[in-house]
């Protein structure tokens, strides 16, 4: 005997869990029918507890929700049950801090957003901190004879000035830039310019200058001080220059 549709329903036949056609098929599990499948929830009313919501059939905490029992992550602050920036203004930070990009940031000793924007005399603001001004040691270029790298007697006074300046503990590093005139190959002139810079460094170190305050570099013939193909130009281009860094 074949049973009709009504007889099948009366006999209790229907979808097999977790499949469903209505909430009645999920009631035994305390769940709800959502798109043909038994789920924990179908809407927010099915989720208990503060800040809970229904998402894709599951009860979960609303993003960014907070209260006295649910803390915010990181340095965020809870306002009206919603996590947000640590600060919205300087008044929400400690007196030694200011609000920058939603975060309480230590005030720099000097510069913008500082309590004391001006540094004491003899100091300068570097990276938000008052630091002693670096002493800039320089002198007129030291010149060399053609194809030579030894320091001429008449040029030593310039190096003596630099050595004396570098004795100051606040002296900045000095870059010794060696140069050559245009005569000779580029490779040879580069090596010659490096020897001239090295010779100037050795002289300064022998005069007591700290090697750590000296850097050398050879430019070859690439950066002439005077343009021209004559002895007047060449004599100005065979040199070592001093550049504070």
pLDDT in tens, 80-107: 999 999 999 999 998 889 999 999 999 8
Note whether 113 and 205 are same-domain residues. Answer: no
**Do residues 122 and 213 both lie within one domain?**
no
Rounded Cα distance, 244 and 108, in Å:
27
DSSP conformational letter for 171: B
Closest by CA to 191, choosing from 178, 176, 203, is: 178
Domain check: are 116 and 184 in the same one? no
Q: Same domain for 152 and 171? A: yes
Q: Mean of the pLDDT values across residues 106-120? A: 84
For residue 76, give the 3-state DSSP assignment.
coil
Give yes or no for residue 23 having a pLDDT over 80.
yes
Which residue is listed with tokens 């550049």? 243
Q: What local confidence, expressed as pLDDT, does residue 69 receive?
A: 92
Asked if the bond preceding 77 is cis, omega within 30° of 0, the reply is no
Residue 90 belongs to some domain of the structure: yes
12 band by pLDDT with thresholds 50, 70 and 90: low
Query: Treating both helix axes as pointing N-terminal to C-terminal, what angle do 156-166 and 186-206 enclose, rounded to 10 degrees?
Result: 60
112 pLDDT more than 90: no
Residues 111 and 146 in one domain: no
In-domain check, residue 77: no
151 shares its domain with 233: yes
Cα three-residue angle 176-122-114, rounded to 5 degrees: 110
Q: Which domain CATH number covers 205?
A: 3.30.1330.60
Query: pLDDT at position 6, please?
Result: 41
- Whether residue 236 lies inside any domain: the answer is yes
Q: Are both 107 and 178 inside the same structural domain?
A: no
Task: Decide which of 38 and 125 is more confident.
Answer: 38
d(CA 70, CA 62): 11
The count of structural domains within the chain is 3
Other C-beta atoms closer than 10 Å to the C-beta of 177 total: 21
Q: Judge whether 2 lies within some domain.
A: no
**CA-CA distance, 16 to 38, in Å (whole number)?**
10
Biggest alpha carbon–alpha carbon distance for the chain: 128
Considering the domain boundaries, does residue 70 fall inside one? no
- Whether residue 191 is found in the same domain as residue 107: no
In a domain, residue 209? The reply is yes
Tens-digit pLDDT profile for residues 50-63: 999 999 999 999 99
Q: 150-169, pLDDT tens digit by residue?
A: 999 999 999 999 999 999 99
* pLDDT for position 9: 40
The domain in which residue 221 lies consists of: 142-244
Could you tell me the pTM of the whole model? Answer: 0.55
Rounded to whole angstroms, how far apart are CA atoms 102 and 82? 15
Among 69, 102, 131, give the residue marking a domain's end.
131
240 and 152 belong to one structural domain: yes
Judge whether 26 lies within some domain: yes
Is the residue at 159 inside a domain?
yes
Tell me the pLDDT band of 127, cut-offs 50, 70 and 90.
Answer: confident
- Whether 98 and 125 share a structural domain: yes
Q: Say how many residues make up the chain.
A: 245
Cα 33 to chain center, whole Å? Answer: 52
> Do 114 and 155 sit in the same domain of this protein?
no
Q: Within this chain, do residues 96 and 57 fall inside the same structural domain, yes or no?
A: no
């Amino acid at each position: 005997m074949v049973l009709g549709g009504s007889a099948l329903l009366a006999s209790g036949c229907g979808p097999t869990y977790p499949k469903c056609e209505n909430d009645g098929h999920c009631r035994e599990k305390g769940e709800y029918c959502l798109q043909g499948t038994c789920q924990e929830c179908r809407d927010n009313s099915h989720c208990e507890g503060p800040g809970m919501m229904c998402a894709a059939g599951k009860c979960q905490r609303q993003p960014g929700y907070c209260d006295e029992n649910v803390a915010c992550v990181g340095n965020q602050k809870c306002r009206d049950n919603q996590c947000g920036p640590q600060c919205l203004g300087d008044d929400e930070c400690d007196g030694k801090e200011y609000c920058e990009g939603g975060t309480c940031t230590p005030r720099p000793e000097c510069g913008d957003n500082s309590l004391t924007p001006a540094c004491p005399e003899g100091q300068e603001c570097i990276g938000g901190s008052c630091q002693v001004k670096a002493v800039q040691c320089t002198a007129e270029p030291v010149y060399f004879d053609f194809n030579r790298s030894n320091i001429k007697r008449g040029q030593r006074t310039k190096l003596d000035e630099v050595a004396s300046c570098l004795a100051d503990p606040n002296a900045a590093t000095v870059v010794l830039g060696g140069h050559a005139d245009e005569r000779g190959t580029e490779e040879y002139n580069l090596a010659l310019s490096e020897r001239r810079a090295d010779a100037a460094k050795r002289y300064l170190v022998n005069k007591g200058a700290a090697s750590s305050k000296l850097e050398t570099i050879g430019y070859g013939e690439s950066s002439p001080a005077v343009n021209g193909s004559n002895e007047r130009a060449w004599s100005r281009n065979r040199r070592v220059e001093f550049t504070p860094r």
